[in-house]
Amino acid sequence: MKVSKVTLVLMLFFANVMFHEVAHGLGIKSTINGKGFVRETLQEQYSWLEEGKADILGLYMVSSLLKKGELEGDIKDYYTTFMAGILRSVRFGAGQAHGKANMLCFNFFQKNGAFERTAAGRYKVNYLKFEQAMNDLSRKILTLQGNGDKAAVEKIQKEMAHVPDELQSDLDRLIKKGIPVDVMFEQGLSVLGLE
């Protein structure tokens, strides 16, 4: 069955979000060195790193399930949708847990060549480097959680969980063009003519 491009993008986005949520239940709950629960050890640094873990492990699950034939599609489409999701989500703000996690992924992937910014200000995924960057970031986040090293998490937040100037410039261009951050639907009884 052939699906439209819009339907395909929605299916890919749904899979990435669904496995993000599944990934919250996976991973390390207690430190491996006896410091206690990760949430308690990392304190105010826990939430944003946990969101980053869910982002990256969700994508890892998609990749693994595709390789096993349990999901259908092209991994390139999932990777591209993941990057588009980061660029979309950061428009809501990078100060909260999800935004910081998105920026960690963005900056880590950029540093590792998983995507590039063209001279025209567009972003292009490097599929050959994307999987390795995904695996490396997964390992990094799980190690930070497992060690319960709050100082190391604070350091990576300062270094990588922020919007770089070049990206901010690109986001500002979207605002100037009037491209909405999200779709707002009119709803309620009056819209349905039931009032």
DSSP structure class, residue 186: -
Residue 13 and residue 183: Cα distance in Å, rounded?
16
pLDDT tens for each residue of 143-176: 999 999 999 999 999 999 999 999 999 888 888 9
The two structure tokens encoding residue 33:
């060195």
pLDDT tens for each residue of 60-80: 999 999 999 998 889 999 999
Residue 122 and residue 130: Cα distance in Å, rounded?
17
Percent of the chain that is helix, strand, coil (3-state, to 5): 65, 5, 30
Question: Which H or E run contains 123?
Answer: strand 123-125
Q: Which of 110, 113, 99 has its CA nearest to residue 157?
A: 99
The two structure tokens encoding residue 102:
């998105």
pLDDT tens for each residue of 21-71: 999 998 889 999 999 999 999 999 999 999 999 999 999 999 999 999 998
Q: What is the pTM of this model?
A: 0.87
The gap between the terminal CA atoms of the chain, to the nearest Å, is: 42
138 band by pLDDT with thresholds 50, 70 and 90: very high
